């Protein structure tokens, strides 16, 4: 299943790079985990992290491979990422001095 999903993600990214797909956003159980977008005049993959999102600029084949791996890791770890995100938000609410740094 992982290989099929990686191939599907690679296919979506290649379609996006060839302008056959204007953008894309994926959710799992109602939670966003990655998007394909034009970002500062560059094609990028945005991947969810516990601190927000990782921006991967798509410049070559290695970037596509890395993006597919990060998308897969994010999907597998999504419950843990969401839990970390809640803990970080709670900590920041309880410690006002952290607000400007997050």
Give pLDDT, residue 5: 82
Question: Distance (Å, rounded) from C-alpha 56 to C-alpha 37?
Answer: 10
Give the residue extent of every domain in the chain: 2-101
Residue 8 in contact with residue 24, Cβ under 8 Å? no
Which pLDDT tens digit goes with each residue over 32-70? 999 999 987 899 999 999 888 999 999 999 999 999 999
What is the DSSP annotation of 17-77?
HTTSSS-EEEEETTEEEEEEEEETTEEEEEEEETTEEEEEE--SHHHHHHHHHHHHHHHHH
Residue 3 in contact with residue 11, Cβ under 8 Å? no
For the chain, give the mean pLDDT. Answer: 89
Give pLDDT, residue 99: 62
Give pLDDT, residue 101: 52
Furthest-apart CA atoms within the chain: distance in Å: 46
């Amino acid at each position: 299943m992982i290989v099929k999903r990686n191939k599907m993600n690679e296919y979506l990214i290649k379609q996006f790079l060839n302008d056959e797909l204007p953008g894309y956003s994926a959710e799992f159980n109602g939670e966003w985990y990655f998007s394909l977008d034009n970002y500062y005049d560059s094609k990028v993959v945005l991947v969810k992290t516990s601190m927000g999102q990782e921006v991967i600029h798509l410049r070559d084949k290695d970037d596509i491979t890395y993006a597919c791996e990060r998308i897969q890791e994010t999907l597998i770890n999504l419950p843990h990422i969401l839990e970390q995100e809640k803990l970080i938000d709670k900590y920041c609410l309880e410690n006002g001095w952290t607000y400007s740094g997050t």
